[in-house]
């Protein structure tokens, strides 16, 4: 490491941080190459080196070996009349485009910048997040869920107010509760009273007494307080600002509870400073006439109506006050003392079941938000505003904070202290999509050029100039909003202040008035203090038997011929600056010289895959237009050359190595597009064995299924990242190929994996080609480093997504495309203040597709609160679920899956219990009270819990699970939302004359009508479900056949028929496809057909085949958990 310790001072990127480790460059085997001088990213580093680049390639790239040279293998058939094969055709090192060619692009300084208007307070001031009805009706969700008293067969109501009632009712001291208990997640064992419905999802063995203690919160029973989930060492619940600095939390007046209980609610600790009956609604704005929906309604208020139709609430308005439906007149059975829905006496109904219409409905919440917030632009000028939901269409106007398309947070109001955060258990996290594409009616970030000296930054923490910096002393200095350090304003940047202290050029400078913008990076932000070459794309095609026989090789080659004209280019450039190269492989690798001066492409075979190198430099990476003829000729010939191959074995790691070495030799970053079909069992580095074992499911060893089987690929990934070599992997498996291992490099280099199991040309071609086209064309930043700075008090402590980290602060991404998110978790390291709030600045340094080095900056200001109610009022459940899913999916790498599930349930219960205890008005324990902003937390969390990764069905393969796990880790909030709770539309409600979609329905079989057809999409699949009683006319119109029986269930596309219904349905499907980053597979499902099982898997409110709970059951369970925490 000592070679890395070259202290650079005053470097633009990086901040002095203890423990900031230099990037250790290592060889393939993970050993550091001795004596290699590590050149640096110059200015990118802080006082300690961060990102380093190996000096001239050693060992791996060389001249053609003179001895032991790889020979042309017999495995590479050489058809007569095909390209000339010159073994190791050697030429000059391919040089990139001269750096001067890179210095153009957008006229940055003259970029028209239309001054915005002053960020006037928007109609919704930040602190007022209530769009609900008047306070009187904005009460909490006090569902009188008497039926939710699970395990309470004794019918003894729990002592009212116990634990979460007015503080005075707290009975015992906390001393009574110190003994340890068993798992919080009690199982529905028979001794616990009748469960409402059988619930078989993973339940830890727990002591039988828990259920009893729920109903009899006698303090002699097994102590409840200190219960924890059985946890594998090292796996803790998503940390909730547990704090970093131990000394920084003087107890506040609110007397935060001891932290040892992970926020579990001890009755003796109800004496927190937060009055349980605080009148939250005081802060409500006057009711907005057009915002009558309760999407953000308050947490407090008078006792709830016992009937939803009272006090202006529409039935089902928020999905939570529903009536009990016919067959279940009330739920009061178990608890005589609790309010009932109906007035009838309670018949003891053994099959107690909640009315699904009475529990919070995702559809209703989505609809309400759409209606309330879809019509007006979201203006970002106000601190701490909660944006509209991801399912709402809205326009964003940047007035000083980053658009929610770039950053979404779990909460826009952060607790001032870590104790408070810990108490709530609400994770504090931001889901960041730095290169997100914006709708055409929104302005992409402006490019700012500060000239030779580079961007203006704080001297100390190196934060970039942003709207929150305070100019002082007449504009001669500015005080950093992150670290308070005062920095001189360089003379060239000086400007006078107006009478309000604002610079007079405020509106002329994006970095002073906008939340998001870009800086042109200077040479000091480049590796080796050299402007980068434009990136390159290398297409690497598996030509083993399966790939050729399935027609895949021919398909890829055909497509590439046209696709090469659509590679990303920068703004006004006429052609893409990206160079391309081609490799084919099976057990050996074939490189192609496609230099423009050649009449025919030349193939060079490298069979010594144990020690990969690139046999040609000149002519391997070429400009498409210059070499078009040769390239087209090559793509024509490849399918023919391997048409008769019998080679079934493949290598994999050497393919990546080859691509990386080629980029290294060309001194550029880039992307490898690898098309691969099988487990790489050929003798080579990174060779794998089939270790799939479904018997491991539900055992402690299940985690190994998610882990790579060798560390070889992690080391390779590290090398790729250092080179800016991003790997996109297209998999076409017919059997297990170990996605968990093959995915390591794509994952750690910021790449993408696509998987087409049992690829068949006819059915999968369209999907694959659409994915490939999108993938090749999408905007990518290369050789990127991202850092998130925060104002004093919180700090980014954990990161989730597809990237590599060699230190604790810098997220390194060989590539980052416009669809990828990075999730960052924050913890307190000091107290925050309500006055100053909390600030985030995400800075992404990257090379764009033209080879220009840029910095993209996103700023976001959040509120801080001393009242828990403010936290709960400003949460975003969709983002919370996004975070929790990523947290859980990472957790399965090192923990039994059941432990992970239990941890999620526990945390969710604690979040809701804390709300109930501290924010909700006193009410019967029989009521389930959910915060308005989190009322969907249970239903969505249940979807995560029963997802394929955490609770796989019999049909889900190990590769599927590994694939989904990686996929979800870089999903944005909109993607996780529809992935976990799919969108379901009734097709008979489609209005063929309108662009509006029919209202979605909830994902439950009982909502489906036999006489209807439905469209369901989750981001990966689209189903069209056809009921057995659908009118023949509709079937004719959509499928072009006369009856239900004639519909082919092997269809993977709807026939193109010239009638309004067919057109409209297909246009809806097209619209959905366009919204997703991947092309979804279309599956036609006929009711009662065997494929219906697959479809039902996505009806996520129902009990799942794999044992996942129904929504109703899970809500009951959650209620029980909450009550247990409170008692």
Which residues form the interface with Zn ion (CB under 5 A)?
458, 460-461, 463, 480, 482-483, 485
- List Cα–Cα distances, 718 to 402, 745, 749, 817, 888, in angstroms: 31, 8, 8, 19, 24
Cβ proximity to Zn ion: between 829 and 876 the closer is 829
Q: What is the DSSP secondary structure assignment for residue 1067, as one 8-state letter?
A: H
Cα gap 144→124, rounded to integer Å = 32
Residue (254 or 475) nearer to Zn ion, CB: 475
Report the residue number, 469 or 674, with the smaller CB distance to Zn ion.
469
Ordered strands of the 1013-1017 beta sheet = 983-986, 1013-1017, 1021-1026, 1081-1086
Q: How far is the CB of 421 from Zn ion (least distance, A)?
A: 24
Query: What is the smallest separation between the CB atom of 304 and Zn ion, expressed in angstroms?
Result: 48
Residues 6+ positions from 575 with CB-CB distance below 8 Å: 569, 624, 625
d(CA 577, CA 591): 22
CB of 770 to Zn ion, least distance (A): 45
Q: Which is nearer to Zn ion, 16 or 59 (CB)?
A: 16
Nearer to Zn ion, 483 or 632 (CB): 483
Question: What's the closest the beta carbon of residue 46 comes to Zn ion, in angstroms?
Answer: 12
Decide whether 482 or 754 has the Cβ nearer to Zn ion: 482
454/966 Cα distance (integer angstroms)? 37
Q: How far is the CB of 15 from Zn ion (least distance, A)?
A: 8
Cα of 599 vs its chain's centroid, Å = 48
Nearest to 854 by CA among 559, 517, 1096: 517
By beta-carbon proximity to Zn ion, the closer residue of 446 and 464 is 464
> Using an 8 Å Cβ cutoff, are 1009 and 984 in contact?
no
Kindly state the smallest distance separating residue 789's Cβ from Zn ion, in Å. 8
Nearest approach in angstroms of CB 248 to Zn ion is: 19
Minimum CB–partner distance for residue 483 and Zn ion (Å): 3
Is 722:23 a contact under the CB 8 Å cutoff?
yes
DSSP code at position 710: -
Tell the smallest beta-carbon distance from residue 481 to Zn ion (Å).
8
Please say which residue, 183 or 475, places its beta carbon nearer to Zn ion: 475
Nearer to Zn ion, 229 or 458 (CB): 458
Q: Are 301 and 135 in contact (CB under 8 A)?
A: yes
Strand partners, 142: 929
Contact of 280 with 300, CB cutoff 8 Å: yes
Burial (0-12, 13-18, 19+ Cβ within 10 Å), 342? middle
Select 95 or 484, whichever has its Cβ closest to Zn ion.
Answer: 484
Q: Cβ closer to Zn ion: 721 or 794?
A: 794
Q: How far is the CB of 816 from Zn ion (least distance, A)?
A: 25
Calpha distance 226→176 (Å, rounded): 11
Residues 6+ apart with CB under 8 A from 687: 651, 653, 680, 681
At its nearest, how many Å lie between Zn ion and the CB of residue 469? 9
Contact of 483 with 792, CB cutoff 8 Å? yes
CA dihedral 108, 113, 118, 124 (to 10 degrees): -90
Q: List b or e across 176-208, with b for residues whose CB sees 16 or more CB atoms inside 10 angstroms.
A: ebeeebbbbbbbbbeebbbbbbebebbbbebbe
Closest by CA to 436, choosing from 876, 981, 967, 856, is: 856
Q: Which of helix, strand or coil describes residue 602?
A: strand
Task: Give the span between the Cα atoms of 754 and 763, in whole angstroms.
Answer: 16
Nearer to Zn ion, 298 or 837 (CB): 837
Tell me which residue of 202, 326, 177, 89 sits closest to 1124, measured CA to CA: 177
- Spatial separation of the C-alpha atoms in residues 432 and 823, rounded to whole Å: 6
Closer to Zn ion at the Cβ: 787 or 1096? 787
* Minimum CB distance to Zn ion, residue 479 (Å): 9
Q: Where are the beta strands (DSSP E) in 138-246?
A: 141-143
Q: Which residues contact 749 (CB under 8 A, 6 or more apart)?
A: 717, 720, 721, 725, 726, 727, 802, 804, 813, 814, 815
Instruction: Name residue 1085's beta-bridge partners.
Output: 1025
Residue 543 near residue 426 (C-beta atoms within 8 A): no
| Both tokens assigned to 520 | 């042109």
Shortest spacing between CB 510 and Zn ion, in angstroms: 20
The minimum distance between CB 721 and Zn ion, in angstroms, equals 28
Nearer to Zn ion by C-beta: 407 or 458?
Answer: 458
Which H helix or E strand runs over 365? helix 362-373
Instruction: Please state the closest distance from residue 14 (CB atom) to Zn ion, in A.
Output: 12
Pairwise CA distance, residues 664 & 641, whole Å: 29
Rg (CA), the chain: 30
- Show the tokens assigned to 1119: 């209620």
Please identify, using beta-carbon distances, which residue of 425 and 861 lies nearer to Zn ion: 861
Nearest to Zn ion of 482, 1039 (CB atom): 482
We find the least distance from the C-beta atom of residue 159 to Zn ion, in angstroms, to be: 53
Instruction: Using the minimum distance from each CB to Zn ion, give the nearer residue, 240 or 458.
Output: 458
Residue carrying structure tokens 């100053």 = 836
CB of 1004 to Zn ion, least distance (A): 52
- In the complex, least distance from residue 484 CB atom to Zn ion, rounded to whole angstroms: 7
User: Of the two residues 463 and 962, which places its CB atom closer to Zn ion in the complex?
Assistant: 463
């Amino acid at each position: 490491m000592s070679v890395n310790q070259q202290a650079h001072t005053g470097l633009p990127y990086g901040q002095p941080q203890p423990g900031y480790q230099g990037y250790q460059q290592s060889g393939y085997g993970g050993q550091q190459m001795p004596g290699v001088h590590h050149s640096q990213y110059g200015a990118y580093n802080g006082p300690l080196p961060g990102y380093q680049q190996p000096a001239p390639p050693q060992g791996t790239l060389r001249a053609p070996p003179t001895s032991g040279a790889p020979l042309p293998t017999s495995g590479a058939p050489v058809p007569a009349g095909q390209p000339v094969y010159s073994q190791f055709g050697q030429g000059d090192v391919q040089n990139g485009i001269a750096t001067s060619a890179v210095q153009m692009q957008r006229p940055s300084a003259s970029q028209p910048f239309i001054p915005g208007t002053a960020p006037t307070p928007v109609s919704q001031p930040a602190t007022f997040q209530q769009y609900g009805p008047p306070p009187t009706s904005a009460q909490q969700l006090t569902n009188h869920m008497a039926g939710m008293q699970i395990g309470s067969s004794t019918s003894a109501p729990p002592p009212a107010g116990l634990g979460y009632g007015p503080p005075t009712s707290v009975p015992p001291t906390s001393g009574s509760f110190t003994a340890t208990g068993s798992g919080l997640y009690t199982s529905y064992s028979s001794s616990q009273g009748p469960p409402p419905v059988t619930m078989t999802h993973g339940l830890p063995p727990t002591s039988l007494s828990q259920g009893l203690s729920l109903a009899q919160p006698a303090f002699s029973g097994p102590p409840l307080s200190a219960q924890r989930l059985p946890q594998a060492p090292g796996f803790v619940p998503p940390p909730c600002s547990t704090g970093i600095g131990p000394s920084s939390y003087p107890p506040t007046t609110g007397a935060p509870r001891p932290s040892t209980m992970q926020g579990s609610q001890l009755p003796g600790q109800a004496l927190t400073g937060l009055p349980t009956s605080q009148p939250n609604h005081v802060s409500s704005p006057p009711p907005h006439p057009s915002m009558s929906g309760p999407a953000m309604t308050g947490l407090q208020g008078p006792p709830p109506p016992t009937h939803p139709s009272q006090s202006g609430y529409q039935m089902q308005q928020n999905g939570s006050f529903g009536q009990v439906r016919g067959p279940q007149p009330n739920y009061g059975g178990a608890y005589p003392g609790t309010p009932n829905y109906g007035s009838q006496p309670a018949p003891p109904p053994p099959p107690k079941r909640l009315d699904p219409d009475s529990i919070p409905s995702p559809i209703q919440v989505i609809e309400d938000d759409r209606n309330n917030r879809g019509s007006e632009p979201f203006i970002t000028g106000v601190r701490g505003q909660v944006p509209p939901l991801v399912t709402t269409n809205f326009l964003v106007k940047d007035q000083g904070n980053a658009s929610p398309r770039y950053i979404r947070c779990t909460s826009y109001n952060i607790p001032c202290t870590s104790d408070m955060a810990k108490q709530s258990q609400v994770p504090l996290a931001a889901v960041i999509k730095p290169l997100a594409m914006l709708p055409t009616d929104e302005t992409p970030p402006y490019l700012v050029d500060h000239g030779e000296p580079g961007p203006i930054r704080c001297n100390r923490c190196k934060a970039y100039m942003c709207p929150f910096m305070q100019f002082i002393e007449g504009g001669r200095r500015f005080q950093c909003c992150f670290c308070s350090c005062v920095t001189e304003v360089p003379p060239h940047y000086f400007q006078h202040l107006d009478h309000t202290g604002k610079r007079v050029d405020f509106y002329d400078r994006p970095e002073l008035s906008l939340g998001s913008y870009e800086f042109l990076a200077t040479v000091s932000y480049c590796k080796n203090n050299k402007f980068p070459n434009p990136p390159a794309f290398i297409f690497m095609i598996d030509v083993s038997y399966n790939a050729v026989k399935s027609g895949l090789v021919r398909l890829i080659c055909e497509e590439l011929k046209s696709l090469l004209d659509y590679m990303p280019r920068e703004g006004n450039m006429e052609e893409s600056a990206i160079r391309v190269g081609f490799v084919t492989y099976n057990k050996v690798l074939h490189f192609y010289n496609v230099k423009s001066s050649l009449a025919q492409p030349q193939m060079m075979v490298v069979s010594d895959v144990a020690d990969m190198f690139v046999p040609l430099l000149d002519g391997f990476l070429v400009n498409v237009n210059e070499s078009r003829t040769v390239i087209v000729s090559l793509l024509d010939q490849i399918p023919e050359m391997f048409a008769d191959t019998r080679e079934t074995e493949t290598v994999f790691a050497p393919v990546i190595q080859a691509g990386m070495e080629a980029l290294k030799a060309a001194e550029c970053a880039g992307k490898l597009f690898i098309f691969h079909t099988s487990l790489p069992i050929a003798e080579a580095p990174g060779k794998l064995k089939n270790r799939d074992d479904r018997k491991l499911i539900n055992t402690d060893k299940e985690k190994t299924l998610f882990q790579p089987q060798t560390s070889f690929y992690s080391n390779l990934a590290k090398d790729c990242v250092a080179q800016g070599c991003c790997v996109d992997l297209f998999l076409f498996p017919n059997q297990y190929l170990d996605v968990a291992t093959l995915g390591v490099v794509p994952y750690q280099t910021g790449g993408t994996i696509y998987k087409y199991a049992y690829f068949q040309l006819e059915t999968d071609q369209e999907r694959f080609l659409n994915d490939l086209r999108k993938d090749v064309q999408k905007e990518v930043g290369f050789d990127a480093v991202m850092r998130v700075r925060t104002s004093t008090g919180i700090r980014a402590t954990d990161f989730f997504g597809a990237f590599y980290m060699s230190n604790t602060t810098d997220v390194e991404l060989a590539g980052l495309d416009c669809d990828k998110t990075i999730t960052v978790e924050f913890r307190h390291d000091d107290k925050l203040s309500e006055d100053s709030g909390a600030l985030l600045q995400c800075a992404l340094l990257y090379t764009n597709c033209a080879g220009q080095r840029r910095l993209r900056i996103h700023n976001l200001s959040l509120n801080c609160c001393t009242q828990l109610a403010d936290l709960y009022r400003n949460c975003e459940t969709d983002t919370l679920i996004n975070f929790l899913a990523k947290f859980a999916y990472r957790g399965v790498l090192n923990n039994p899956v059941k432990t992970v599930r239990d941890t999620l349930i526990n945390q969710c219960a604690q979040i809701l219990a804390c709300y109930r205890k501290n924010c909700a008005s006193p009410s019967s324990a029989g009521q389930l009270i959910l915060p308005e902003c989190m009322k969907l937390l249970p239903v969505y969390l249940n979807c995560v819990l029963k997802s394929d990764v955490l609770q796989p069905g019999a049909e889900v393969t190990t590769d599927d699970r590994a694939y989904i796990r990686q996929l979800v880790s870089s999903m944005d909030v909109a993607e996780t939302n529809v992935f976990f709770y799919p969108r379901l539309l009734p097709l008979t409600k489609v209005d063929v004359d309108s662009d509006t979609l029919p209202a979605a329905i909830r994902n439950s079989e009982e909502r489906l009508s036999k006489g209807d057809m439905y469209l369901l999409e989750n981001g990966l699949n689209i189903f069209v479900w056809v009921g057995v009683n659908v009118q023949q006319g509709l079937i004719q119109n959509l499928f072009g056949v006369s009856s239900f029986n004639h519909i082919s269930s092997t269809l993977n596309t709807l026939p193109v028929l010239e009638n309004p219904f067919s057109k409209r349905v297909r246009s809806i499907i097209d619209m959905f496809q366009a919204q997703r980053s991947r092309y979804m597979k279309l599956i036609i499902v006929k009711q009662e057909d065997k494929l219906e099982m697959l479809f039902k898997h996505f009806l996520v409110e129902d009990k799942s085949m794999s044992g996942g709970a129904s929504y109703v059951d899970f809500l009951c369970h959650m209620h029980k958990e909450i009550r247990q925490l409170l008692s």
